[in-house]
Amino acid sequence: MILSDISRYLEQRGQATLAEIALHFDADIDAVRGMLEVWMRKGRVHRRMATASCSSSCSQCEPALTEIYVWGSVPGDRVRLNVSGCRQDKRSS
């Protein structure tokens, strides 16, 4: 996995969680985060947190599932993400 691989992946998808990117490249989450920081410094990738995606602030979801990276977005844009497997959803069933 190199920087250009991550850029192509995000360009094609538009956005992805840290966990999705790490899974796709079969890589360590911290290694992926470090590579994404390079793109963030260049202004090509922006990080968003999906803390309100399940309409709760329970903080029980895996952090790598709520850390979203968006390719080419302008800071302040809203990101819509359905966090699958949210623990809040399971409690309300």
pLDDT of residue 46: 92
pLDDT digits (tens, 9 = 90+) for 46-80: 998 776 545 556 666 666 677 889 998 555 555 45
Residue 83 CB neighbour total at 10 angstroms: 18
For the entire predicted model, the pTM comes to: 0.69
Of the candidates 59, 55, 64, the residue with the CA atom closest to the CA atom of residue 36 = 64
What domains, with CATH codes, occur in the chain? Answer: 3-91 (1.10.10.10)
Those residues with Cβ within 8 angstroms of residue 10's Cβ, 6 or more apart along the chain or in another chain: 16, 21, 39, 45, 69, 70, 71
Given this model, what pLDDT does residue 67 score? Answer: 85
